[in-house]
A = this chain, B = another copy of it.
Amino acid sequence: MYQYKYPHPSVTTDCVIFGFDGSKIKILLIQRGINPYKDQWALPGGFVHIDETAEEGARRELREETGVEQAEMYQFHTFSAVDRDPRERVITIAYYALVKMSEVRGGDDAKNAQWFALNELPTLAFDHQEIVERAIDELRRSIHFRPIGFDLMPEVFTMSQIQHLYEEILQHTFDRRNFAKKILRLGILVEAETRPENTPTRIPNKYRFDKDAYQALKQSSFMLEF
């Protein structure tokens, strides 16, 4: 047993894991095996160990649930409503992660994990509905400062795939030509496989994300307007 002079809250992390299947943004939920909220869907998460940082805890959870080792993770808010867990005072540090769906495998344990489109979310345990909404807000905000798209995309992708992603996040449709111009002007995309000259075809151009160019761009505090 551990004893303290004053009451201490528990501290957990919860992780909103975003993926993109080429047309819809999805988040990964797990079905709870225990009470409270048994059998309901919830965000992956768990207690922060006493000898790890919140970020380490969140990455551990991400790895356990998805097998993904490298992913962009952002801490976006800490939720501290007094009664958000019926058992005891629990404060949760929330992260969102951007993963390539192709790299995700089922969780280590037998937990039931499943992707849900944002407009088809089930009822969520605890205050996880609020956490998800907040995460979407943050995603929408940070899209102006970070090339978020490329963390969610497969290595090679078409212009219309990435346009769909931006349209999903921003809930707005764009003109194809203008969108391509704007993205290409950033100079962080390279054509993945140049198509032979004389094959006018319906097969779209493929692009790849140029990490070096992006690193250079980041220095100049770029901003992407839509």
Contacts and interface: CB of A to CB of B under 8 A. Distances in A.
Contacts of A2: 3-8
Interface in A53-103: 53-55, 75, 77-78, 80-82, 89, 91, 93
A219 to B, nearest CB: 14
Interface in A7-30: 7-11
A51 interface: yes
23 contacts: A1-B4, A2-B3, A2-B4, A2-B5, A2-B6, A2-B7, A3-B3, A6-B47, A8-B8, A8-B11, A9-B48, A11-B80, A11-B91, A48-B80, A48-B91, A51-B82, A54-B78, A54-B80, A54-B91, A78-B93, A80-B93, A141-B145, A223-B225
Contact of A4 (B8, B93, B145, B225): B8
Counting contact residues on chain A (CB < 8 A from B), the size range is 20 to 34
A52 B63 CA distance: 33
Contacts of A91: 11, 48, 54, 93
A10 to B, nearest CB: 6
Contact of A89 (B5, B50, B141): B50
Contacts of A10: 8
A220 to B, nearest CB: 12
A144 interface: yes
B1 A5 contact: yes
Contacts of A50: 6-7, 9, 82, 89
A144 B48 CA distance: 34
